[in-house]
Amino acid sequence: MTRRSAATTGGSAATASEPSADLVLIGGSVLTMDEAGSRAEAVAVAGGRILAVGAQADIEPLIGANTRVIDLDGRALLPGINDSHLHAAWLGARWPHTFFGAPDPEVAAQLSGALAVDREARRAAILNAGRMLSELGITSYTEPGIGPGEDDGETGCFHSEVLDVYRELAAEGELQQRVTMLALYGVLDGPSDVETVLSGIRERAAAAPEPEPTWLNVPGVKIFGDLIPLSRQAWTDRAYDDGTHGDLLVNGDSIEQKAEGLAEMIRAAHAAGLQIGLHATGDRTIGLALDAIAEAAAQPGAPTSQQLGHVIIHGDLATSDQVRRMAKLGVWFNAQPGIATITGSWLASMMGADAAAEAWQFGAALDAGVLVLSSDAPVLHFDWRHWVAAAEERIVMMGGDASPEVASARLHRLLRAYTAVPAAQDRAASWKGTVEVGKVADLVVLARDPFEVGAEGLPEVPVDLTVLDGQVIFER
């Protein structure tokens, strides 16, 4: 850890010609979450952007008559948390009935049918989720799958109108997080019709960009590759206990035909310049997807996969070789560590201890630089502190070095997987995700420095304050 030098941060800001700050947070440990792990003592904010980061003495001259000054009193300040796979409308409508870890599991399991049937209910659900997320320092999320594929869906939480409601909230300045959305043309968790998805891809590619993409952006599409190992529907090399290998979520008469349909959807979305968020858990599905991406990117004049930032969502059974291939291709591995904790022994019972031991390759993904952490709320709780701890637990369980020095360096990277890296997934690394001059002032204050307590102690560290676009939106 190095302290940022005044020359690169606040030093130049401390001149008479600089405007005074709207907000100054001073006297703490500013964890910038840049790659080097730089630290500072204070941050100044003006016009919703970070004006200066540096030592206390660099920032003090920026305090004017109208500056709100928050004394950090030794607490930690980080960039706002980005939950890069979270169904906010569904979360807001279901709360507190998450699928795992609900306060009343029986009610949660039985909760079915319509949850948000009209515009008003959808708006209320998004606002409800937004308020809860802001209380945990979450300032960005990806809403992965809203669109016509679910206009007849059971819950109403993924209906096309949800996008209209987001637009309305963005225009009114009512959003409590910055939202990236993936459009959904197939059905949720069910088999897609290839032609329907292909026509959706054409429609999405022709759609006008959102007017304020720093608040609401729709860079691409959600596609379902396969389902999950626990229903024996992840498409796998290894057999399940019943001798089957799972399936793909694509309509077709044979697995070969389904595989070709999925590859065609992926190639078409890539060729159209869209980001693909692919729900894929089985190693065979992931291999197919990486082949299709590589093939699409190799076409003359096609964008590179790095430019589009495709995402393998879940990736439970991705092999370590596949993870390294993701890095080569510039494909993100968006994982939910809580799933490993909760379903690990279940997977072992269905696929064998070896399969369970090799699943959830978070350490390999972290080393390859492709790991992005998320909650998948309301499948799991959105409390990111637990999922950072769960990722650490899984990595150590799989043989990761647990010595304090290595664990500390790894904590830095795990925290980046909830801040800087998802900003890259959002194709927004130039303006959010770290505490650096010129970036948006989306910040979170934790009661203690996470490096003092380690990943396993993080869940006990209270979130004290959330700043979004330079405004304090939550104070404990």
Residues that bind Zn ion (CB under 5 A): 376
Give whichever of 382 and 474 is closer to Zn ion, judged by the CB atom.
382
| Residue facing Zn ion at closest CB distance | 376
Residue at token pair 């920026």: 62
Closest distance between Zn ion and the C-beta of residue 85, in Å? 6
C-alpha 467/C-alpha 264 separation (Å) is 42
Give whichever of 283 and 376 is closer to Zn ion, judged by the CB atom.
376
Other CB atoms closer than 10 Å to residue 99's CB: what's the count?
A: 17
b (16+ CB within 10 A) / e for 65-91: eeeeebebeebbbbbbbbbbbbbbbbb
Closest distance between Zn ion and the C-beta of residue 87, in Å? 6
Give whichever of 339 and 420 is closer to Zn ion, judged by the CB atom.
339
SS3 assignment for 329-362: HCCEEEECHHHHHHHHHHHHHHHCHHHHHHCCCH
Closest distance between Zn ion and the C-beta of residue 155, in Å? 13
Give whichever of 376 and 383 is closer to Zn ion, judged by the CB atom.
376
Give whichever of 278 and 468 is closer to Zn ion, judged by the CB atom.
278
Other CB atoms closer than 10 Å to residue 376's CB: what's the count?
A: 26
Give whichever of 145 and 450 is closer to Zn ion, judged by the CB atom.
145
Q: Which residues have C-beta within 8 Å of that of residue 253, sequence separation ≥ 6?
A: none
Closest distance between Zn ion and the C-beta of residue 182, in Å? 10
C-alpha 205/C-alpha 188 separation (Å) is 21
Rg of the chain over Cα atoms, rounded to whole angstroms, equals 22
Listed residue (25, 20, 96) closest to 62, CA to CA: 20
Give whichever of 335 and 437 is closer to Zn ion, judged by the CB atom.
335
Closest distance between Zn ion and the C-beta of residue 265, in Å? 18
Give whichever of 142 and 466 is closer to Zn ion, judged by the CB atom.
142
Closest distance between Zn ion and the C-beta of residue 279, in Å? 7
Listed residue (40, 43, 52) closest to 11, CA to CA: 52
Closest distance between Zn ion and the C-beta of residue 139, in Å? 20
C-alpha 40/C-alpha 82 separation (Å) is 21
C-alpha 414/C-alpha 383 separation (Å) is 14
Closest distance between Zn ion and the C-beta of residue 397, in Å? 24
Antiparallel, parallel or unpaired: β 49-54 and 39-46:
antiparallel
Give whichever of 43 and 93 is closer to Zn ion, judged by the CB atom.
93
Q: Is 273 exposed, middle or buried (0-12, 13-18, 19+ CB in 10 A)?
A: middle
Q: What is the DSSP string of 37-58?
A: --EEEEEEEETTEEEEEE-HHH
DSSP-assigned letter for residue 34: -
Closest distance between Zn ion and the C-beta of residue 184, in Å? 11
